[in-house]
Amino acid sequence: MVKSIYFTQISYSDFTQFKGRPILIFKELQNDYLYMPITSNLQRKGVVLTNDDMQSGEMRKKSVVIVPKISAIDKKNIIESRLIGTIKESKFNQIQSVFCKEIGCKDE
């Protein structure tokens, strides 16, 4: 499930509306997944994602994984979502690295 991209309904930051958008599953928790939203707005800060980065499936457009914007979604909501594909390990490692740099992870 981690490294998978799904098209699902997620809420805006103010929780007033929902929008369908692709998301990257970043981490599995007990009842939830942590995810990062994906946008085709190439001006957004994040990590660029192309079809060359896909292990399976394909993206309709060159996109950006919005790092470090991360949210949680209940696993039940993903079951009802459409799987787009899975990214390669090397791209996932790059996203993790950028995420840690942005939030100040430290090796201990």
Domain 4-103, CATH 2.30.30.110 — does that match? yes
Note the pLDDT of residue 105. 85
Q: What's the pTM value of the predicted model, to 2 decimals?
A: 0.91
Any residues with CB less than 8 A from the CB of 32 and at least 6 apart, and which? 72, 73, 74, 75
The SS3 assignment for 57 reads strand
Greatest Cα pair distance, the chain, in angstroms, is 40
Regions of the chain with pLDDT less than 70: 15, 107-108
pLDDT (0 to 100) of residue 108: 47
Cα–Cα nearest to 70, from 106, 32, 108, 107: 32
